[in-house]
Structure 1
Amino acid sequence: MDAFVARSLDEIRFWSRIMKEHSLFLKLGFRCEDTQLIQEADGFYRLFEQIEAKAHAFTTATDPQQIQTFNVEVYNAASHIWVFKRKVLGLILTCKLPGANNFPLLVDHTSREANYFRNRLAQLNNGQLEPLADAIIDENVFFLKIMADHAKFIGHLLDPSERKLVEQARDFSHDFDQLLWQAQDLSSMRPQSQTQPLLSQFLDQNRVSVASLRDFKKTARDLIAACRIKSIIHPLLADHVYREAERFLAIIDMFENSLTGKPSPNQGAWH
């Protein structure tokens, strides 16, 4: 099995679905009269739907050169949706879309994920993934911010009368803000902070909180699907944020395996 091919397909299969769903969520948040933006979002939905299907049609036995070409194609698509998301953010922040339902932080959040995706494809094609110690810190800084955002979105999209769940979401938001600041402190102490004991403790601590948030998201997803709680959360959005927490946990496990020298069953070594 070619590690480059396997890694590329894993990233594209996961993130192309995420980008496709972002297109839907943005579309649902536009006003009826925002026909141009709705059409653009629909176009991105179809584009990433095609990319996702193509990624699943390839296998780990596919010629690496073919995958390298595919990575460039997907990089371009991710760059275009990033530009679209930043344009939408600009419209919201300059009050050009009054009454629309996309939070500025949510649009910024989705653009950060598009940027992450295209950067990963560029790294893979250039054969320049970060060294393990840098990757551990940078990936955690990125994903801890994503998880903190998710907790805030859940808290704001639940009906205010769901007081207990709103309070739980706020608690998670606070917890992940603290973890993010800790990660940023560890980052600013580089390279002295990049010792095996510190990085291992860092991963262990984050894993506990991410697993707890993942379980909360799973419960919320199941309750929303069963129509048992009051919210304006789309069932697909509930599943979307759950999958991203699962992804983060898998990455933490991969890093732990790489740190301790264990084989990593899913994604291979980082470096």
Structure 2
Amino acid sequence: MSNAFVIRSLDEVRFWSRIMKEHSLFLKLGFRCEDKQLIHEAEQFYALFESIENRAHAFTAGTDPQTITKFNEEVHTAVSHIWAFKRKILGLIIRCQLPGGNNLPLLVDHTSREANYFRNRLTELNTGRLEPLPDAIIDENVFFLRIMADHAKFISHLLDPSERKLIDQANHFSDEFDQLLFQARDLDSMRPQSQTVPLLDQFLDENRVSVKSLRDFKKTARELIDACRIKSIIHPLLADHVFREADRFLFIIDMFEKSLTGKQSQAPNPIAIH
């Protein structure tokens, strides 16, 4: 146990507990008025992850590692419960038991994948079994490239049909990230032979360029939504939510680049540890 374990744990919990909290809100907004029990459950998860987020910000880098280990276990349990809630909702939607709701099946699946990612990371931290760098580079990129592709699809479907230019841009990003995901999966299937420094470095460089373009597109969309300058049913918080996840992916790419080649990171840590 070390200071690094505490810093890494707090970084993950602060970022992902906020994401889980916001998922609860988005799911709630997508339910029908008559889905009172599901709305109530979503509200409970919102309160739970808001509490976790606040507690995570109350800890510092100097907190006893054993305290953080127990906290991670508690958060893991909460994340497992919201994961199960999301999968339950997905089943109801796919079996046509929530007709007329506004939660897209892929969006619900997307949020459950992020919950599963979060709880797996907590397990890795508490057991001290983080992946070797070459494996982590491929696995993290496979995960986040799919997340970015999903985001582009959601943006396209939530914009008003009259916003033709923005829809075209979103669809372009969807196609681009689908292709990047296919490339990442090819690299995955070729490992360990594919895990050379030159190939992984090129992999990171190529993904960084595309993620930065998508991040900037999301930033512009967020600003336009905030200013009520485009027609959509995108909640302003959702626009900020997907922007933050793209920014997080860029940070991760830069951290991998620095670890792989010694190049200085180009992005600041998105979450400061006080």
- TM-score by structure 1 length? 0.97
Once residues 266 and 213 of structure 1 are traced to their aligned partners in structure 2, the CA distance between those partners, rounded to angstroms, is 19
What does residue range 82-93 of structure 1 map to in structure 2 within 5 Å?
82-93=83-94
For 2:58, the equivalent position in structure 1 comes to 57
Q: In structure 1, list runs of 5 or more residues that go unmatched.
A: none
Once residues 263 and 200 of structure 2 are traced to their aligned partners in structure 1, the CA distance between those partners, rounded to angstroms, is 16
User: Is residue 101 from structure 1 mapped to residue 102 from structure 2 by the alignment?
Assistant: yes
Query: Is the alpha carbon distance of 1:100 and 1:151 closer, same or farther for their aligned partners in structure 2, counting shifts above 3 Å?
Result: same
Code of the residue aligned with 2:32 in structure 1: it is: R
The CA deviation at 1:263 is 6.7
User: Is residue 72 from structure 1 mapped to residue 73 from structure 2 by the alignment?
Assistant: yes
User: Is residue 125 from structure 1 mapped to residue 126 from structure 2 by the alignment?
Assistant: yes
The CA deviation at 1:262 is 4.9
Runs of 4+ in 1 over 2 A off after TM superposition: 261-267
The CA deviation at 1:261 is 2.9
**Superposed CA offset, 1:131-164 (max 9, x none):** 0000000000000000000000000000000000
**Superposed CA offset, 1:175-200 (max 9, x none):** 00000000000000000000000000
User: Is residue 173 from structure 1 mapped to residue 162 from structure 2 by the alignment?
Assistant: no
User: Is residue 251 from structure 1 mapped to residue 252 from structure 2 by the alignment?
Assistant: yes
- TM-score by structure 2 length? 0.96
User: Is residue 238 from structure 1 mapped to residue 239 from structure 2 by the alignment?
Assistant: yes
Report sequence identity in percent: 79
Code of the residue aligned with 2:194 in structure 1: it is: S
**Superposed CA offset, 1:38-58 (max 9, x none):** 000000000000000000000
For 1:193, the equivalent position in structure 2 comes to 194
For 2:12, the equivalent position in structure 1 comes to 11
Once residues 263 and 13 of structure 2 are traced to their aligned partners in structure 1, the CA distance between those partners, rounded to angstroms, is 25
For 1:209, the equivalent position in structure 2 comes to 210
Once residues 91 and 74 of structure 2 are traced to their aligned partners in structure 1, the CA distance between those partners, rounded to angstroms, is 26
Once residues 260 and 45 of structure 1 are traced to their aligned partners in structure 2, the CA distance between those partners, rounded to angstroms, is 40
Q: Secondary structure at the match of 1:21?
A: helix
For 2:23, the equivalent position in structure 1 comes to 22
Code of the residue aligned with 1:186 in structure 2: it is: L
Code of the residue aligned with 2:119 in structure 1: it is: R
What does residue range 108-187 of structure 1 map to in structure 2 within 5 Å?
108-187=109-188
Q: Secondary structure at the match of 1:41?
A: helix
